[in-house]
Copies of this chain bind each other. A is one copy, B any other.
């Protein structure tokens, strides 16, 4: 397939009147449109206004989709224990499947081609199946909770690890390697030391399996961990093996100097979730400091109950605006940096090679946006447009691993209206907490 349009290949490369040529799952050429047309005259052609790498949602909860908007204006720990966990605990296998489908559908429609997805305790295979079917690239993991958790979610430690291992064997590397596994303890508050140490052992045992958890999102959370372990949260996670180049820690809002040193020294990835941190009043992650230390910072939408959307472009805009106002520095986190966080940094955090840029030999994960719309007029700079103006609604074309998932604004791999309809039915009967 030969895709043509203005090509934002990476943060340094914008090709006007450009093209991207795809064969199977790989990009074979990126360059000038006329040159590509000469070289590949027989490839199917598709024109977009603007082509870019698909974005990476490096911390999402697809299966919380049915709870969009159920708990506005509440603080994280109340939000979690009073609303979101009861909702997760109440979902049947069929509801979990629909919730995951709805989440992936929203991501595919709005330009997320890779996600690092924090599932739930039960029915995780429903999300794996949905991800395989819908065609998104994903690093998914069943959530483990083996202490201080509500009924319906609390598990035995060995069973939690055994179920994780079963899912690794079944799904890690599925769909031609598009689906991979992250061992996923919820957070230190609801996991025993045995569970956290078991997480590291499991990740080390299977090639390419990584680790994904929440860390230091909220002041109540870090106080609890410190009271229970005598250590700051990141030091605790480091001690039990949950730092390193194969670990993604979501949030990291409340870290001190010594914890940041640990993150930098261990090569741990951090996912910045600005809208979620704002909505739950968690705080402002010290992202500029992380970047200065060479920590890889990715972006994530978190879940529909705390965002309330999975639109990656809204998150890019928010990422920059929040840092600017927090530091009172208008230069903070410019478009270029945000774009890298949403693409290549995310792919590194997700642990997928040759993903996150449009480049010869890299995976064909590509989105096409329309720009002949009023709010996108005029465009003085494509990176500025993508960061401060673009919206998921603009995404008309989505390709993952060379497969077209959306064309002309219509998802072609699923019956979107039927998924929405099922989601509405299930949501109407949902236990939406207190």
| Complex contact B69–A374 (CB within 8 A) | no
Pick from A308, A310, A424 the residue with the most CB of B within 10 Å. Answer: A308
Q: Can you report 5 residue pairs joining A to B where beta carbons are below 8 Å apart?
A: A68-B379, A69-B385, A279-B320, A281-B328, A391-B391
Asked whether B378 lies within 8 Å of A66 as measured between CB atoms, the reply is yes
Instruction: Assess whether A331 is interfacial by the CB under 8 Å rule.
Output: yes
Given known pairs A105-B374, A374-B416, the reply for A275 and B389 (CB within 8 Å) is no
A344 close to B (CB within 8 Å): no
Given contacts A332-B281, A374-B109, contact A380 B69 (CB under 8 A): yes
Q: Contacts A275-B321, A321-B278, A321-B279 given; indicate if A69 touches B379 (C-beta within 8 A).
A: yes
Contacts of A385 in B (CB 8 A): 69
Q: Does A423 touch B at the CB level, under 8 Å?
A: yes
Partner of A69, one of B102, B110, B388: B388
Chain copies in the assembled complex? 2
Are B424 and A378 neighbours in the complex by a CB distance under 8 Å?
yes
Q: Which of A22-30, A70-78, A140-148, A184-192 contacts B (4 or more CB under 8 A)?
A: A70-78
**A positions within 8 Å CB-CB of B:** 65-70, 72-76, 79, 102, 105-106, 109-110, 275, 277-284, 307-311, 314, 318, 320-322, 324-325, 327-332, 334-335, 372-375, 377-381, 384-385, 387-389, 391-393, 416-417, 419-420, 423-424, 427-428, 432
In this complex, what residue of B is CB-closest to A327? B281
The answer, among B102, B281, B330, for a CB contact under 8 Å with A279, is B330
Measured CA separation A331–B318 after assembly (Å): 20
Minimum distance in angstroms from A303 CB to a CB of chain B: 13
Residues in B with CB closer than 8 Å to A327 are 281
Q: Identify the closest chain B residue to A72 (Cβ).
A: B384
Residue ID in chain B nearest A380 by CB atoms: B69
| CB < 8 Å neighbour of A73 from B74, B331, B391 | B331
Whether A72 contacts B308 by the Cβ 8 Å rule is no
Chain B's nearest CB lies how many Å from the CB of A237? 24
Decide: A375 and B283 in contact? CB cutoff 8 A: no
Q: Which residue of the partner chain, among B70, B79, B282, B388, contacts A380 with CB atoms under 8 Å?
A: B70
Nearest CB in chain B: distance from A319 CB, A: 11
Q: How far is the CB of A89 from chain B (nearest CB, A)?
A: 18
Which chain B residues lie closer than 8 Å to A106 at the CB level? 374-375
Chain B residues whose C-beta falls within 8 Å of the C-beta of A378 in the assembled complex: 66, 68-69, 423-424, 427-428
Within the complex, the shortest CB–CB distance from A41 to chain B, in Å, comes to 31
Query: Complex formed: what's the CA distance from A314 to B311 in Å?
Result: 12
Contacts of A388 in B (CB 8 A): 69, 72, 279, 307-309
Contact A375 B321 (CB under 8 A): no
Q: Contacts of A377 on B, CB cut-off 8 Å?
A: 65, 68, 102, 420, 423-424, 427
Which residues of chain B have C-beta atoms less than 8 A from A328's C-beta?
281, 283
CB distance from A433 to the nearest CB of B (A): 11
Residues B420 and A68 in contact, CB atoms below 8 Å apart: no
Establish whether residues B392 and A309, one from each chain, have CB atoms under 8 Å apart when the complex forms: no
Asked if A330 and B389 make an inter-chain contact with CB atoms under 8 angstroms apart, the answer reads no
A419 vs B375: C-alpha distance when bound (angstroms): 12
Shortest distance from the beta carbon of A291 to any chain B beta carbon, whole Å: 15
Q: Are B389 and A69 in contact (CB under 8 A)?
A: yes
- Residues from chain B with a CB closer than 8 A to the CB of A330 are 73-76, 79, 279-281
Chain B residues within an 8 Å CB radius of A314: 314
A69-B384, A73-B330, A331-B73 as given contacts; A375 in contact with B110, CB under 8 Å: yes
Q: How many angstroms between the C-alpha atoms of A301 and B157 in the bound complex?
A: 51
Least Cβ–Cβ distance between A314 and chain B, in angstroms: 8
A393–B389 CA distance with the chains assembled, in angstroms = 12
| With A110-B375, A309-B375, A310-B375: A432-B380 Cβ-Cβ less than 8 Å | yes
Q: Least Cβ distance of A284 to chain B in Å? A: 6
Q: Give the chain B neighbours of A432 by CB distance below 8 A.
A: 380
Chain B's closest residue to A104 (CB) is B374
Closest to A276 in B: B321
